[in-house]
Structure 1
Amino acid sequence: MATTDKSSLKLTKENLEAEDFLPLLGTDFVELYVGNAKQAAYYYMAAWGFQPLAYAGLETGLKDRVSYVLQQDKIRLVLTSPLKSGGDINRHIDAHGDGVKVIALWVDDARESYVETMKRGAESYFEPRAKRDADGEVVLSGIHTYGETVHVFVERKNYKGAFMPGYRPWKPFYKPTDVGLKYIDHMVGNVGWNEMNKWCQFYAKVMGFAQLVSFDDKDISTEYTALMSKVMSNGNGRIKFPINEPADGRKKSQIEEYIEFYNGAGVQHMALATDNIIETVTSLKNRGVEFLTVPSSYYEDVLDRVGTIDEDLAPLSELGILIDRDDEGYLLQIFTKPILDRPTMFIEIIQRKGAKSFGKGNFKALFEAIEREQESRGTL
């Protein structure tokens, strides 16, 4: 993703309702503030198949933080830890635990992206700035979104280095094989009571997104818990942000649990795409990644609901992979248990076979699985 040919910049408008005054080329990187970046980097490499890309720290002139950059196909993670006590990174980790701080968006013009969003009501994170080294120039700017999460606009058309100025290539001996992850399909934000519409309006007004689909408490509910969700997307469909809020239920929902342990709004999960979910999930399980499970009865009538699929049902059932269909095709998906000590962030693996939706038919089975985990934690 450091360089790209012009053909990849031709953007087809998929979400016709989006204003598209802010052309987004894709997700550039996701930065997590973590307690120990060195060990977190090893986890994402060993368990998730990410490859080492770049590094910044004491050896590159930084005195307050260290960052490891990992990549798998079009997915880039930046793992950042503080080197000294005090400061914003320590405070963020103390409040939220490990979690996503930056959702960076790849743009053709970071200065113009900042101007366009600011004049529509964005709150500035930082003004446009250029970083340069022998490999060229990267221009960055940033705005705030829900909670303490921020969007950074990244313009890298004049850069040919590994990541960006201030980082050096990171080439450790240990380079595990990847697991077939391709790109970020969508990223889900959890917000507080009655805040979903506020943030959907933010993405519509400030960033030109439009609503793709919405789910109410009738769609996403079980006997005990419920939530509401709306999916916001930019014009070309490369950036999709579902926004969740709690809904009234008999017990504490997963969104309420998240808000309690994260201490506010934040990124609940990343959905990572694969072209072969059976191979990817098999590899992940063999490396120790734990997934939510659904009862075997889910598979007894699933084909009656979704129709014919290309895959054999047996390995899907064995792995616990869910299936759903919409007017465009079908999808296969599975969700990890929380990947952090706090019951906050998790990861979804998704393979789309034409489907544009988000697995509405699986909501009940998925949420009951989450409730079983909540019950075991004593937080339901």
Structure 2
Amino acid sequence: MPPHAIAYAELYVADDREAAGFLTDNLGFVPVAAAGPATGTPDRRSTALRSGEVILVVTQALGEGTAVARFVEAHGDSIADLAFSCADVRSAYDRAVLAGATALRAPTPALTGGDSQYATVSGFGDIRHTLVAAGEGLPLLPPDRVWALLPAAAEAGGPRPALDHVAVCLEPGTLRKTADFYEAAFDTPYYSSEYIEVGGQAMDSIVVRNADGGITFTLIEPDDTRLPGQINRFLESHNGPGVQHLAFLVDDIVGAVRSLGDRGVAFLRTPGTYYDLLTERVSGMADRIADLRETNVLVDRDEWGYLLQIFTRSPYPRSTLFYEYIQRHGARGFGSSNIKALYEAVEREREVAGR
């Protein structure tokens, strides 16, 4: 049986206390477990944090030359593992390897307790996917180390997100191959695609998604026949393919942005001309424009409904990984038209300033 959801994302970082501090102090995550030398893992220190349904694990190397240290040296602070929960780890592992994934760890007993097994296979770039047994307790934690549960703490005020999707930047010419691999290996078939032109830049994207939406990847590659843009900059800064952002699904994005702003989260700002043009681009939003303008929230519409979204600035040294907050009102897309709309708004603002 294939995987059915993303269990957790693990970030390898140069400074785990700083990275965990951003997630707790700014994004409102709560530490739930810790691992390291005191629990029998001498080469790294990890903290698992939770907000709503999202589990992030922050890990720092405690010595040079380890896998964690090499990853951070190559890519900076970045997501190294997107773990998948599975009803049957062995069958999910066998399917992935048969489809061409590199076997990094064959099914083996988990160190987190119980009779469950886990396995690890390769994904895009240097990303790996740990396959963990579903239903072994909450939260699901990396099973290759012993964890000490932390005293229960009340979750801080703010959004209680679920993971909507993961955005991935790929090298030019690898998009279709990667999408085909994820369908064959993890049963995440083609969901949608779009070619986006922004001025002299362009990018191609394919969304792959499993049947219940628990695993959704937006795969993006730059068109290398056009001018370089943000995807090229990511690939250069990250030194290859990687996770560009995690998108957190919330029920009230305007309230979430205000709460997160009060906690010091820096969001990308939207030019005022974007909102001047909004009613022409998206109908039925006139009564919301004031709140959206105040919070810099973006709007997109498709045939099923509309969505609201906003992106944080990257808190990491290489400015690669960042976070998105998204609220859906029926829309099934991912806000791609906002890329073009923002570009046009910026150009209009420049024209006005130049008069």
Q: Give TM-score scaled by structure 1 length.
A: 0.85
Number of the residue aligned with 2:94: 115
* 2:258 alignment partner AA: T
Tell which deviates more after alignment, 69-78 or 341-350: 341-350
Q: Distance in 2 between matches of 1:270 and 1:335?
A: 10
Residues 178, 199 of structure 1: alpha-carbon distance in 2 compared, 3 angstrom cutoff? farther
Residues 367, 45 of structure 1: alpha-carbon distance in 2 compared, 3 angstrom cutoff? farther
The question of whether the paired residues in 1 share the 8 Å contact of 2:273 and 2:345 is answered with no
Pick the aligned partner of 2:118 from 140, 153, 159.
Answer: 140
Q: Distance in 2 between matches of 1:362 and 1:113?
A: 36
Residues 200, 150 of structure 1: alpha-carbon distance in 2 compared, 3 angstrom cutoff? same
Number of the residue aligned with 1:341: 317
* 1:139 alignment partner AA: Q
Q: Give TM-score scaled by structure 2 length.
A: 0.91
Q: How far is 1:275 from its partner?
A: 0.4
Number of the residue aligned with 2:336: 360
Tell which deviates more after alignment, 258-267 or 284-293: 284-293
Give the 5 Å matches for 1:224-239. Answer: 224-239=200-215
* 1:168 alignment partner AA: A
Pick the aligned partner of 2:236 from 251, 254, 260.
Answer: 260
SS of the residue aligned with 1:52?
strand
Q: Distance in 2 between matches of 1:130 and 1:51?
A: 28
Residues 126, 370 of structure 1: alpha-carbon distance in 2 compared, 3 angstrom cutoff? farther
Number of the residue aligned with 1:29: 8
Q: Distance in 2 between matches of 1:71 and 1:311?
A: 34
The question of whether the paired residues in 1 share the 8 Å contact of 2:108 and 2:117 is answered with yes
Number of the residue aligned with 1:14: none
SS of the residue aligned with 1:79?
strand
Residues 358, 317 of structure 1: alpha-carbon distance in 2 compared, 3 angstrom cutoff? same
The question of whether the paired residues in 2 share the 8 Å contact of 1:257 and 1:343 is answered with no
Q: How far is 1:45 from its partner?
A: 0.2
Q: Distance in 1 between matches of 2:124 and 2:139?
A: 31
Residues 23, 344 of structure 1: alpha-carbon distance in 2 compared, 3 angstrom cutoff? closer
Asked if residue 325 in structure 1 is aligned to residue 301 in structure 2, the reply is: yes
Q: How far is 1:249 from its partner?
A: 6.3
Structure 1 vs Structure 2: percent identity of aligned residues?
34
The question of whether the paired residues in 2 share the 8 Å contact of 1:292 and 1:370 is answered with no
SS of the residue aligned with 1:221?
strand
Pick the aligned partner of 1:171 from 145, 148, 151.
Answer: 151
Residues 310, 22 of structure 1: alpha-carbon distance in 2 compared, 3 angstrom cutoff? farther
Residues 366, 111 of structure 1: alpha-carbon distance in 2 compared, 3 angstrom cutoff? farther
Q: How far is 1:254 from its partner?
A: 0.7
Coordinate RMSD, CA, aligned: 2.3
Asked if residue 98 in structure 1 is aligned to residue 77 in structure 2, the reply is: yes
Pick the aligned partner of 2:255 from 270, 279, 282.
Answer: 279
Q: How far is 1:161 from its partner?
A: 7.3
Which sections of structure 2, spanning at least 5 residues, go unmatched?
A: 348-355
The question of whether the paired residues in 2 share the 8 Å contact of 1:190 and 1:267 is answered with yes
Q: Distance in 2 between matches of 1:256 and 1:293?
A: 22
Q: Distance in 2 between matches of 1:259 and 1:138?
A: 37
Cα deviation, 1:244-263, whole Å, max 9, x if unaligned, reads 11114664211110111111
The question of whether the paired residues in 2 share the 8 Å contact of 1:137 and 1:156 is answered with no
* 1:144 alignment partner AA: S
The question of whether the paired residues in 1 share the 8 Å contact of 2:304 and 2:332 is answered with yes
SS of the residue aligned with 1:313?
helix
The number of aligned residues is: 345
Residues 48, 255 of structure 1: alpha-carbon distance in 2 compared, 3 angstrom cutoff? same
Q: How far is 1:151 from its partner?
A: 1.0
Residues 250, 235 of structure 1: alpha-carbon distance in 2 compared, 3 angstrom cutoff? closer
Q: How far is 1:71 from its partner?
A: 0.3
Q: Distance in 2 between matches of 1:364 and 1:160?
A: 41
The question of whether the paired residues in 1 share the 8 Å contact of 2:197 and 2:340 is answered with yes
Asked if residue 75 in structure 1 is aligned to residue 54 in structure 2, the reply is: yes
The question of whether the paired residues in 1 share the 8 Å contact of 2:32 and 2:152 is answered with no
Q: Distance in 1 between matches of 2:152 and 2:9?
A: 21
Q: How far is 1:23 from its partner?
A: 4.4
Residues 150, 311 of structure 1: alpha-carbon distance in 2 compared, 3 angstrom cutoff? farther
* 2:126 alignment partner AA: E
Which sections of structure 1, spanning at least 5 residues, go unmatched?
A: 1-20, 372-380
